[in-house]
């Protein structure tokens, strides 16, 4: 890859780290549509998964006292069959209708939350299983599987540290599984690994700055940030090829 494009990948990785360090998700929201201007999806998707894995490892280290596996478990066990299905879809078929459907849901949901501000709920664990399945399916197929889990976490009566820790712990586990599935299916190439190693310092720096910014915002501002990012994630799914 030419030096200019390599530098561009590093810059994109920096902003991806900043956004996820700030919110607990969203690295693919930043990276995927930009990378696809000059990179094919079979390289961009596993690259974003590896970047997300590094970010969640870094963020999770700072939130380890807030990690609660009883919150993560329904999501995790639901995502396992979803990852298998999503990896198959990435290798053998397109995902246009899935992207349009998910994009529509995100735009409508985020607008509803921003305009009407409904009260938080106490959701049953089976909703976590369903959210986990959809996350695994969408994440493995086009590296943007976070929304179902983000919606599930933000609807619950959890404080901002519990929400971010749950997202981070879950996304680390699913990222590890998806990266393994991609490698086993022959999707992750040597080129992808080289790009990831070159961009890792930018990811770490961006995540550090995003995490420090997160520490200065309130719970209400954090939820508002989540809904705004979900809105833009929905728009991104419409325009990403």
**Where exactly are the structural domains of the chain?**
3-239
Give CA–CA dist 150/108, Å, rounded: 15
* Residue pLDDT, tens place only, 105-140: 778 888 888 887 777 777 888 899 999 898 888 777
Question: Of the candidates 66, 31, 11, which has an alpha carbon nearest to the alpha carbon of residue 214?
Answer: 66
Backbone angles phi, psi at 157, to 5 degrees: -85, 65
Cα atoms in the 13 Å half-sphere on the side-chain side of 24: 29
Give CA–CA dist 108/121, Å, rounded: 19
Residue 76: pLDDT over 80: yes
Give residue 98's pLDDT band: very low, low, confident or very high (50, 70, 90): low
Could you tell me the sign of the dihedral formed by the alpha carbons of 91, 93, 94, 97, in that order?
Answer: negative
Helix (H, G, I), strand (E, B) or coil at 42: helix
Query: 237: part of which helix (H) or strand (E)?
Result: helix 219-239
Residue 95: pLDDT over 60: no
Residue 145: pLDDT over 70: no
Cβ neighbours for 71, distance < 8 A, ≥ 6 positions apart: 128, 158, 162, 166
The two tokens of residue 112 are 């509803």
Name the pTM for this structure: 0.78
* Residue pLDDT, tens place only, 55-68: 999 998 888 888 89
Average pLDDT over residues 28-40: 81
Give CA–CA dist 222/214, Å, rounded: 8
Better pLDDT: 174 or 52: 52
pLDDT of residue 241: 55
Return mean pLDDT, the chain. 85
């Amino acid at each position: 890859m030419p030096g200019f494009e390599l530098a561009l990948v590093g810059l994109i990785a920096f902003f991806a780290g900043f956004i996820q360090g700030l919110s607990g998700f969203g690295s693919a929201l930043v990276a995927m549509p930009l990378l696809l201007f000059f990179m094919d999806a079979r390289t961009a998707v596993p690259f974003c998964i590896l970047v997300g894995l590094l970010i969640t490892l870094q963020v999770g280290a700072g939130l380890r006292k807030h990690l609660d596996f009883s919150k993560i478990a329904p999501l995790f066990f639901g995502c396992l069959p979803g990852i298998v299905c999503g990896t198959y879809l990435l290798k053998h078929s397109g995902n246009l209708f899935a992207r349009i459907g998910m994009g529509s849901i995100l735009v409508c949901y985020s607008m509803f939350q921003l305009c009407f501000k409904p009260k938080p709920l106490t959701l049953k664990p089976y909703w976590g299983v369903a959210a986990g399945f959809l996350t695994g399916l969408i994440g493995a197929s086009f590296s943007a599987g976070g929304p179902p889990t983000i919606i599930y976490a933000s609807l619950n009566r959890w404080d901002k540290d519990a929400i971010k820790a749950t997202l981070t712990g879950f996304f680390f586990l699913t990222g590890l599984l998806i990266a393994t599935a991609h490698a086993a299916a022959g999707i992750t190439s040597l080129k992808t690994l080289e790009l990831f190693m070159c961009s890792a310092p930018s990811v770490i720096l961006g995540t550090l700055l995003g995490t420090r910014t997160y520490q200065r915002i309130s719970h209400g501002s954090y939820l508002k940030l989540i809904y705004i990012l979900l809105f833009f994630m929905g728009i991104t799914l419409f325009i990403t090829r």
